């Protein structure tokens, strides 16, 4: 999807974060084939952040080695490529829409997912099919993939994920007020003052997928692997598929200025319930701001994240312990 981070950039990023997280080289793999040694930061106890391309890292990971995957991927194919990312960092916008400032508030940029062409959607399908193949390989039987999307591309990405053999178990609907959609026709706002080109988005779909259980029953799978379901909200209340979670707070955005940062309230809710027995390893392939790993750190859950962008890797390594402490 995006070009791989060059080895030189990996080394430079690893050097930049040595002051706070402890960097180490991963232990030698047990496999007979030689594996690449990716730079690894340990920003909190039980947390590893790896500077690596997600698909490459997963391809080298042992089968049945993570118990859940929780992630918010760059599901618009072009907004996170190097050219558009450079425009975003310079405040130029590009395919990113820089929302207007009003009420004294500065708002985060939003990607224009509607610019995807049929060819883009084909590449999107190919990428998520390849991603899901690796995801189902490294998940233990009964392990869940919980993956964020948006109403415009979720049907495409979720259908691609199902081709891997992962079972779709529903969707977690996040109720959230956003600035995406609801605009009047551009250039004709006065003439068509009563028109919204598309609805103002007030929800966000998270796909719920499960690797097939290996045992005869979910109970047996729980006994063997510790997976197969979600942790209940309480003894009397099951895990539900709707959650209200506002955008990340200002203090969170200040700690981790990533355009797609997810709020700790939401990530702690998901990470705290995706392991039904509270044991196992959670993996975030697209770590970004580090919000998933920070949520895991705050809950005492072991977690691994990969991030291919050297700048975001360095930022997340610094941000994770601060977000976890909130």
Q: Which residue has the higher pLDDT, 93 or 23?
A: 93
Mean pLDDT of 173-200: 89
pLDDT band for 313, please (50, 70, 90 cuts). very high
3-class DSSP state for residue 67? strand
Phi, psi (deg, nearest 5) at residue 161: -65, -35
H helix intervals, the chain: 7-16, 54-60, 82-89, 118-138, 154-162, 218-225, 250-255, 264-274, 291-299, 310-324
pLDDT averaged over every residue in the chain: 84
Nearest to 128 by CA among 115, 147, 151, 150: 147
- Per residue in 183-196, pLDDT (tens digit) is 898 889 999 999 99
Structure confidence at residue 237 (pLDDT) = 98
All structural domains of the chain with their residue ranges: 7-324
Residue 93 has a pLDDT of 52
- What topology is assigned to 7-324 in CATH? Rossmann fold (3.40.50)
Q: How far apart are CA 212 and CA 265, in angstroms?
A: 29
Say how far apart CA 27 and CA 131 lie, in whole Å: 24
Reported as a single tens digit per residue, the pLDDT across 52-102 is 999 999 999 999 999 999 999 986 445 555 565 555 556 555 544 545 444
Report the pLDDT value the prediction gives residue 167, as an integer from 0 to 100. 98
pTM of the complete model = 0.81
173 has pLDDT over 80: yes
Backbone angles phi, psi at 139, to 5 degrees: -70, 145
* Residue 81 pLDDT: 57
What is the model's pLDDT at position 115?
61
Its sign, for the CA torsion 142, 238, 70, 78, is: positive
Taking residues 165-192, report their average pLDDT.
91
* Pair type for strands 139-148 and 203-210: antiparallel
The predicted pLDDT at position 91 comes to 57
| pLDDT tens by residue, 123-145 | 889 999 999 999 999 999 999 99
pLDDT given for residue 121 in this prediction: 84
The whole-number pLDDT of residue 320 equals: 98
């Amino acid at each position: 999807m995006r070009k791989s981070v060059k080895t030189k950039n990996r080394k430079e990023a690893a050097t930049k974060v040595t002051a706070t997280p402890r960097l180490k080289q991963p232990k030698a793999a047990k496999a007979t084939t030689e594996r690449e040694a990716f730079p690894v930061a340990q920003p909190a106890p039980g947390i590893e952040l790896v500077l690596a391309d997600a698909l490459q890292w997963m391809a080298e990971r042992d089968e049945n080695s993570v118990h859940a995957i929780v992630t918010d991927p760059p599901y618009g194919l072009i907004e996170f490529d190097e050219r558009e990312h450079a425009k975003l960092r310079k405040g130029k916008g590009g395919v990113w829409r820089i929302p207007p400032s009003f009420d004294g508030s500065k708002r985060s940029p939003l990607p224009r997912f509607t610019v995807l062409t049929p060819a883009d959607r084909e590449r999107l399908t190919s990428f998520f099919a390849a991603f899901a193949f690796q995801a189902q390989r490294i998940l233990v039987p009964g392990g869940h993939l919980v993956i964020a999307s948006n109403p415009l591309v979720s049907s495409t990405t979720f259908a691609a994920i199902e081709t891997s053999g992962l079972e779709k178990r529903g969707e977690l609907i996040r109720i959230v007020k956003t600035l995406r959609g609801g605009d009047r026709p551009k250039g004709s706002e006065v003439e068509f003052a009563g028109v919204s080109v598309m609805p103002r988005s007030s929800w966000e779909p998270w796909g719920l997928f499960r690797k097939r259980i290996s045992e005869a029953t979910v109970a047996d799978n729980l006994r063997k692997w510790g997976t197969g379901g979600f942790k209940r909200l309480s003894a009397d209340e099951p895990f539900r598929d709707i959650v209200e979670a506002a955008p990340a707070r200002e203090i969170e955005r200040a700690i981790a200025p990533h355009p797609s940062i997810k709020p700790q309230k939401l990530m702690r809710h998901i990470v705290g319930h995706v392991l039904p027995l509270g044991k196992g390893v959670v993996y975030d392939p697209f770590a970004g701001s580090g919000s998933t790993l920070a949520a895991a750190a705050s809950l005492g859950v072991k977690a691994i994240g990969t991030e291919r962008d050297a700048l975001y890797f360095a930022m997340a390594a610094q941000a994770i312990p601060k977000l976890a402490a909130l």
